[in-house]
Amino acid sequence: MMRGAALRRGRIVEHLAAGSSAAGLALCLLLAGGIVLLLVRAGLAPFWPQPVIEYTLRDGRSVLGELMLHRDGALIVRGDEQARPGDGYVRLREAEILAERQPPDAVARVHADGRRSYRLGEAGPDEPDLVGVDRRNALTFAGKLAFFGERLRAYAIGGDRSGDAGQGLLPALAGTLTLVLLMSLIVMPIGVAAAVHLHVYAGRGRIGALVRGAVGSLADVPSIVYGVLGLGLFVHGIGGGIDRWLHADRLPVPTFGTGGLLWAALTLAVLTLPVVVATVEQGLARIPDTQRLGSLALGATRGETLRRLLLPQARPAVLSAWILAVARAVGAVAPLMLVGVVKYAPASPIDAAFPYLHPSRQFTHLGFAVYDQALISPDALVGVPRAYSAALLLVALVLVLNAAAGLVGRRLRDRDRAFPL
């Protein structure tokens, strides 16, 4: 009887644990989906054509412009900008507004420096700095979709059609992807080799425990510390030494002794190395010792056992380590600000000129674009929504890389099932 009660209590505990796990998983999925939906809504909304509204005030004045913010009984309206973008905002209290309408003949004009102006009727004189004119209140749904696509294109690849001056986000996307791939080529072989040595040769002795503790401690170091390390060791140390050796005729103008793609990749490789080592070593530790001992008992050398038995079974751990390294590297903006990332890169690190990859060049990065738009932009009401757009593209890049890693892992598992060891 007591045994039956104990079994019932055990089943109840198991059901509670399963329910808690399911609830936790559902909560995580809900939070992740909410973040993605927030980024989609806030990141794409700025490119949809906002109507031009004419507000008639009780004192007889009228204000023509776009509604940017409505909060606490007040409206922030973007009106005509005379000297610079952002100097045309008007704050209106709801009590001051007598009437509002969306005139179909309203014209929104975009200038080359990003300023906007609004008028009724004709578009006005053909000013030399005028780069865009639209009657968005009269647009059909198809016209609004075309307008949305044009503004999104201008923001992505750069251009002046909608006042989105600068390089756009494609150079930042290319710089981020190039940096991540170059960092992966550096950190993955070193990290896997270090994990193998730690698992196979260091064992569970004092040295192995000391190294594992050091790796765990390095994984908790703030990323800005690695940025300082990269600035001192790679940029000023190694880069300065290369300049004194190979480019002494160009000094004091640095060639390699300044921030660039290579030093940023090496800095991120050092940053993500503890994550790769710990993840791969844990994957190797999950392989039963009986398989390794059986291989050695059958006459295989330690190297053959490692190459043909342990590493193939540790492929999921290697892919997990790469995914974690990419996720941390993509989000690590602080160290990049010290070792090579800039707001506008004078030239892309990848082009059609030999040797095609130029590791000494500076580059742009999506993470820095988020920071720049959100905190440095002179027009916060425009910059913050653009920061959401850059963050959305950054999340999309991480999801694509993770999906690619999952696809590769699935292919490897299918091949292992078809050709067992």
DSSP string, 342-403: -SS-SS-SB-SSTTSB-TTS-B--HHHHHHIIIII-S-HHHHHHHHHHHHHHHHHHHHHHHH
Within 10 Å of residue 352's Cβ, how many Cβ atoms? Answer: 6
Side-chain half-sphere CA neighbours of 219 within 13 A: 18
Find the radius of gyration of the CA atoms of the chain: 29
Whether the Cβ atoms of residue 152 and residue 124 lie closer than 8 Å to each other: no
Q: Residue 251 has what pLDDT?
A: 79
Within 10 Å of residue 80's Cβ, how many Cβ atoms? Answer: 16
Whether the Cβ atoms of residue 109 and residue 118 lie closer than 8 Å to each other: yes
117 SS3 class: strand
Q: Which domains does the chain have, with CATH numbers?
A: 52-157 (no CATH), 170-418 (1.10.3720.10)
> Distance between CA atoms of 168 and 159, rounded to whole angstroms?
7
Each residue's pLDDT expressed in tens, for the chain with a length of 421 residues? 555 565 566 666 566 666 667 777 788 888 888 888 888 888 888 888 889 999 999 888 899 999 988 888 899 999 888 888 878 888 999 889 899 899 988 888 888 777 888 888 876 666 677 878 888 888 889 989 998 888 888 887 765 444 444 557 888 888 898 999 999 999 999 999 999 888 877 766 777 778 888 888 888 888 899 999 999 999 888 888 888 888 777 777 787 778 889 999 999 999 999 999 999 988 888 888 788 778 878 887 777 888 888 888 888 888 889 888 988 888 888 898 889 888 877 777 877 777 778 887 888 888 888 888 887 767 777 778 888 888 888 888 888 888 887 787 777 666 665 545 5
Within 10 Å of residue 393's Cβ, how many Cβ atoms? Answer: 20
Please name which of 126, 110, 112, 95 lies closest in space to residue 50, comparing C-alpha atoms: 110
Q: What is the pLDDT of residues 257-312, one digit of tens each?
A: 788 899 999 999 999 999 999 999 888 888 887 887 788 788 877 778 888 888 88
Mean pLDDT of the chain: 82
Please name which of 392, 335, 338, 361 lies closest in space to residue 256, comparing C-alpha atoms: 361
What DSSP state is assigned to residue 254?
Answer: -
| Tokens at 322, concatenated | 């790469």
CA distances from 145 to 39, 139, 149, 421 (A): 20, 9, 6, 55
